[in-house]
Amino acid sequence: MSHAPDSGLAHVIEPIASHPYQLKFETVSGSGEDLQMRSLLDRQQFHDPLGEAEREGISSSAWPIFGLLWPSGRVLAHAMLTYELEGKRILELGCGLALASLVVHRRGGNITASDCHPLAADFLRENLKLNHLPVMKYQTGNWSRANPLLARFDLIIGSDVLYDRDQPEALSQFIGLHTQPDAEVLIVDPDRGNRASFNRKMDAMGYARSETLISTLPGGATKYKGRLLRYRKSAGACMAKAGPGPLGV
C-alpha cells in the first residue's frame, strides 16, 4: 500500500515469545474514546508455516498488511462515529485490524467484521479484550470466492480496498451478492487509480454516488489525501433500471 501507517500514534513495542512475529500496542485517538490496538510491528513480519494465507491468495509481501493501522482505516473509523446505525446490519469488508468495526461495536451497532487473512479473527479477539468490549461477529470474507456464511447487509463499509486493478470487479460482484436492495456502501479510498473503474461498476448496478474530499486525518494534525465515497441504491431505482418484467409486471 502506498500510504504508510501513521507514525504519530503513541505505541510501545512488546516482544511476545509465543509469536514468531513482533507486535506493538498503540493508542488510537480521533475516533471517540481512545482505543488500544494490538498490531504488527511493521511490514517485515511474516509467518505462514501451514500455507493458510497462501491458499487465500495472500503473498508473503502482502501478509502483514492486515495487521497494520492504516490512515484510511482511521478515516473510516472516524466517519463511523456519527453515521446512522439504527436498524442496519453492517459489514466491514477487508477489515484488517477492524478499527471501524470496533467503533461501530462500541456504539452498539449490528456489525460483522470480515477479512480473508487467517489471523484477522485472532487479532480482533485480542483487541476486543484490550478495550473491554464484548464479543463481536466475525466471518471469513474473500471477495474472489463464494462466501456462503455471509448474508445480505444494509450497509457495507471498507477502507483502502481498491489497491489493485482486479479489485473493482471482484469487490463490486461481492457487494452485489451481499447487499439488500436499498443498501448503502461507504468506502474510504486514498486516491488510488482504480476508483474510477469501481465507480463505473457501482453505477452499472444502480448506485448513486457522492464523494467527500479528506485532507487530514482525525484530529487535523496529519495530512491525508483521499475521499470518502458513499454509494446508495434504492429498491425503486433498481426496479426502474431493470425495466418491466414479463406482461409488464
In a domain, 4, yes or no: no
Arithmetic mean of pLDDT over the chain: 88
Tens of pLDDT, residue by residue over 176-227, are 999 999 999 999 999 989 999 999 999 999 999 999 999 999 988 899 999 9
pTM (predicted TM-score)? 0.87
Write the pLDDT tens digit of every residue in 53-86: 999 888 999 899 999 999 999 999 999 999 999 9
pLDDT of 144 higher than 90:
no
**What pLDDT does residue 46 have?**
92
Does any domain span residue 244? Answer: yes
For residue 179, is it within any domain? yes
In a domain, 165, yes or no: yes
Task: Report the DSSP beta bridge partners of residue 22.
Answer: none
Answer yes or no: is 23 within a domain: no
pLDDT at 12 over 90: no
Question: In this predicted structure, what is the pLDDT of residue 33?
Answer: 87
pLDDT higher at 145 or 172 = 172
Between 33 and 175, residue with greater pLDDT: 175
Domain assignment present for residue 24? The answer is: no
Q: What gap in Å lies between CA 213 and CA 223, rounded to an integer? A: 12
Alpha helical stretches, state H, 1-119: 52-55, 71-79, 99-106
Contacts from 5-8 at CB under 8 Å and sequence distance 24+? 5/68, 5/69, 5/70, 5/71, 6/69, 6/71, 6/74, 6/217, 6/222, 8/221, 8/222
Q: Is pLDDT larger for residue 215 or for residue 16?
A: 215
Question: For residue 31, what pLDDT is reported?
Answer: 82
29 inside domain: no
pLDDT of residue 2 exceeding 50, the answer is no
Is residue 36 predicted with pLDDT exceeding 90?
yes
Mean pLDDT confidence for 18-24: 85
**Domain total in the chain:** 1
Q: What is the DSSP letter of 6?
A: P
Q: Name the residue range of residue 181's domain.
A: 67-248
Please check whether residue 39 lies inside any domain of the structure: no
Q: Return the higher-pLDDT residue of 245 and 239.
A: 239
CATH number of the domain at 109, please.
Answer: 3.40.50.150
